Structure 1
Amino acid sequence: MAFSFRQLKYFVATAEAGQVSQAAMQLNITQSAVTAAIRQLEEVLVTRLFVRHPHGMVLTDSGRRFLSHAYGILADVEEAMLLSNWESDFAGSLSVAATYTVMGYFLPAHVRRLAALYPQLEIRLHELPRAEIEAGLLQHDFDVAVLLSSNVDNPALQLESIISSPRRLWLPAQHPLLSHPAPGLQDIAGEPYIMLTVDEAEQSTLRYWQQAGLQPQVRVRTSSVEAVRSMVANGSGVSILSDMVYRPWSLEGRRIETVSLHGLVPPMTLGLAWKAQAEISPSIVLFRDYFRQQFMTPFSSQRSAAAR
């Protein structure tokens, strides 16, 4: 027995909303329909996808792995449905700048898909810090950028958000806070904290801590996401990072768990940027419209609700 496209959509909506009731509202269907679809999907896969808690639905390890596959399957189906709208004979070039996090965790798959859809579109990639990207856009060194738009406050740039990735608390397996029904920053403040510094992560982190009138007990500062992952998994401390960079295992094969903070910290927003009040080339329009199709269509808005 195979799973259905409908079951995948309901599963993804529930995973992103964290609650069956919210998923049902987004899908405009009954809660019982969502619950039944998830139960049928678990029976087909012979594994639990969620742990049911009074406050919502939390993905199991199998659920997180399957969510990645579900995104890919749904994206491929959507792409096939939209193929008639693509101008595959388009020819042009595009200079694209991206920050470290975007380049490492988001952009490569989309560049591959764009290359498949537009074989005659030449995309030149540049990885740089945000400040250098902003200067390069204004000096016409780059046509467009993909960066953490929540860090950008430059009126000379036009911004368009793509996704918004929730930030969650990262913990080692069996950490006491895993059993806390709703941990807050005051609960985390007593823990040794592993601070990521790349792409202005430290500034963003300290901003919401300061707004709460609290301060993390920073044990280590590092520009390496893998170092954060390893230190958390080995019990050296905790961290708060976005779902976009989350992976459940460290390089040593140790488990990293996450806990939702339920609106206590802002999500990490990722988007496009180009020079405002400048003529937009056909290549930029194509690039922008690709991401609009991927993340802003009715189905995609469900798929990326945790990321927009």
Structure 2
Amino acid sequence: MNFRHLKYFVATAESGQVSRAATALSISQSAITTAIRDLESELGADLFLRSAHGMEMTDAGREFLASAQDILTRLDEAKNLSHRRSTAEGVISIAATYTVIGYFLPYHLDRLAHLYPGIEIRLSELNRESIEEGLLSNRFDMAVVLTSNLSNPEIETETLLRSTRRLWVPSNHPFHRAGKASFADIAEEDYIMLTVDEAAHTTMKYWSTTSYQPKVKLRTASVEAVRSMVANGQGVTILSDMVYRPWSLEGKRIGTASTTLEIPSMDVGLAWREGTGITGPLALVHDYFRESFVDPQTWFTSPRP
């Protein structure tokens, strides 16, 4: 494999569609399809499941994604970090929710610190309601949040990442072997309900579109508790790929399955008060996220100020 294979794979994984990845990278769809086929052949595993909705990553694909992203990031930093370092200075205040801080933001804070050593980011972890109040009162310049949970018309948002939600089950569960389960089948299983970041409210919203209800065995704010309970066969759950890991703290495996009914994704992105001027250091941070996710080709090719 080579870096081109990895770049095409990551672009497809992050966009969820070959066509979107091809557009973002300005190449043909066949080039991406061939690269992914070559990768799968070399690795001896399917990285994606092809469906009418796009490209869904397999367990092997999700495990490989982390390594591929790390390799490309290190290459990017080695090639470009020296001339991208900025002399910009300033202090900005950013708020984030629990899930964003735990599973999304630290990696990007590290990159921003290397790129802009003169910019101090003051970070606060709060719930959605407190973040909205802080943005509207100008206590925070920007927030990195689950944009799928926001609906305040006075707050502007820009979604960076849409993380697919899937059913989590023990690796030896029939649903994992089948690769798909209906809500009627899931309703027969004990359900482990995550409550942090309004996860329970979101869960009940999409369950309410069915004629079934989850058989909740435990409500918990701990993702690790959910992971362990599922891995030990104490129940199932539906959560996003962003927080998925194929093992529990005890080292037991967790598998996934799609659902017959499409579930809304968990969206991560930026939020700021409507009318806020995004200038100076804040603009650099905004552009970093935008170029990393919305227009990743720019990040690989254009120098930073």
TM-score w.r.t. the length of structure 1 is 0.84
Q: Counterpart of 1:157 in structure 2: which amino acid?
A: I
SS in 2 for 1:211: coil
Cα 1:81–1:154, aligned 2, differ >3 Å: closer, same or farther? farther
1:23 aligns with 2:35: no
Partner amino acid, structure 1, of 2:89: A
**Overall identity of the aligned pairs, in %:** 51
Among 106, 126, 129, the residue aligned to 1:128? 126
Deviations 1:28-66 (A, max 9, x none): 5465x556534543565xx423178786775354x4332
Task: Kindly provide the amino acid, as one letter, of the partner of residue 110 in structure 1.
Answer: H
CA distance in 2, matches of 1:57, 1:6: 20
Q: Which residue does the alignment assign to 1:204?
A: 202
Structure 2 contact 247–253 (Cα < 8 Å) conserved: yes
Single out whichever of 169-178 and 234-243 deviates more from structure 2: 169-178
Q: 1:246-278 CA distances to partner (integer Å, 9 max, x unpaired)?
A: 111100110000112366110000111111123
SS in 2 for 1:89: coil
Structure 1 CA distance for aligned equivalents of residues 49 and 159 of structure 2: 32
Q: Residues 164, 262 of structure 1: CA spacing in aligned structure 2 closer, same or farther, 3 A cutoff?
A: farther
C-alpha distance after superposition, 1:160-182 (max 9, x if no partner):
11111000110002111123353
Q: Please list every run of 5 or more consecutive structure 2 residues that lacks an aligned counterpart in the other structure.
A: 300-305
Letter in 1 for 2:18: A
Counterparts of 2:15 and 2:88, CA distance in 1: 37
Structure 1 pair 64/100, CA: closer, same or farther in 2 (3 Å)? same
1:175 partner letter: H
- What is the match of residue 59 of structure 1? 58
**Which residue among 39, 42, 48 is the counterpart of 2:44?**
48
Question: Is the Cα–Cα contact under 8 Å of residues 49 and 59 in structure 1 kept in the other structure?
Answer: no
* Shift in Å, 1:5: 1.9
Over 3 Å counting, the alpha-carbon distance change for 1:179 and 1:87 in structure 2 is closer
Q: Tell me the TM-score normalised to structure 2 length.
A: 0.85
Change (3 A) 1:35 1:137: closer
Cα–Cα, structure 1 residues 5 and 217, in superposed 2: closer, same or farther, change >3 Å? same
Name the CA distance, whole Å, in 2 between partners of 1:52 and 1:108.
27
Contact 1:161 1:270 in 2 (8 A): yes
Instruction: Tell whether the 8 Å contact from 1:49 to 1:60 is kept in structure 2 after alignment.
Output: no
Gaps of 5+ in 1: 302-308
Instruction: Look up the match of 1:304.
Output: none
Whether the 8 Å contact between 1:96 and 1:126 is mirrored in structure 2 is: yes
Matching residue of 1:296: 294
Q: Is residue 144 of structure 1 aligned with residue 152 of structure 2?
A: no
Amino acid at match of 1:50: D
Aligned pairs for 1:237-256 within 5 A: 237-256=235-254
Distance change in 2, residues 1:51/1:111 (3 Å): closer
Query: Partners of 1:181 and 1:112 in 2: how far apart?
Result: 36
